[in-house]
Amino acid sequence: MKVIEKADIAPIQPLLCSIEAGTVIVSRSKRFLIDAIARGLVRAVKSDRRTLLVVASLHEYVASLPPAKGTRDLRSARSSDAAKPSHHVTRNAHREPKRRTPISMGPDREQSRATRPAHSP
């Protein structure tokens, strides 16, 4: 009789998962996955009343995503350019600030509460 060891057993990969489990797998919301099913980005099947995602289609979706474009680390560039004068212009700096116009309160509202006559019933 042969003894089966843990090293001899391959881990079982699930074929289907719930939408909630799919949100964990692809790190997206439940609403996104429902829309992805409707758009055909992810395959799903029905089992009784439950909608189950095909796990392989989640892996295919992730593999189809474009690579992220990195940005330069501006903090390290700023520290090396610290000796250089900065000509940084903030967004919309060329615009004049908006002028606030006073709101007319009307003659009855301009009086303070102390100087208003008391209402008599």
The residues with which 16 forms a beta bridge, in sequence order, are 54
96, part of any domain: no
Three-state DSSP at 72 gives: coil
34, part of any domain: yes
Query: Do residues 61 and 41 touch, judged by C-beta distance below 8 A?
Result: yes
49, part of any domain: yes
DSSP state of 98: P
57, part of any domain: yes
For residue range 63-113, what is the model confidence (pLDDT) as tens digits?
Answer: 999 999 988 877 766 655 555 555 555 666 666 666 666 666 555 555 555
The pTM score is 0.52
Q: Tell me which residue range forms the domain holding 52.
A: 18-64
d(CA 70, CA 56): 28
120, part of any domain: no
CA dihedral (101, 104, 109, 111) in degrees, to 10, reads 70
pLDDT of residue 70: 86
For residue range 3-26, what is the model confidence (pLDDT) as tens digits?
Answer: 767 777 778 889 999 999 999 999
- Number of structural domains (the chain) is 1
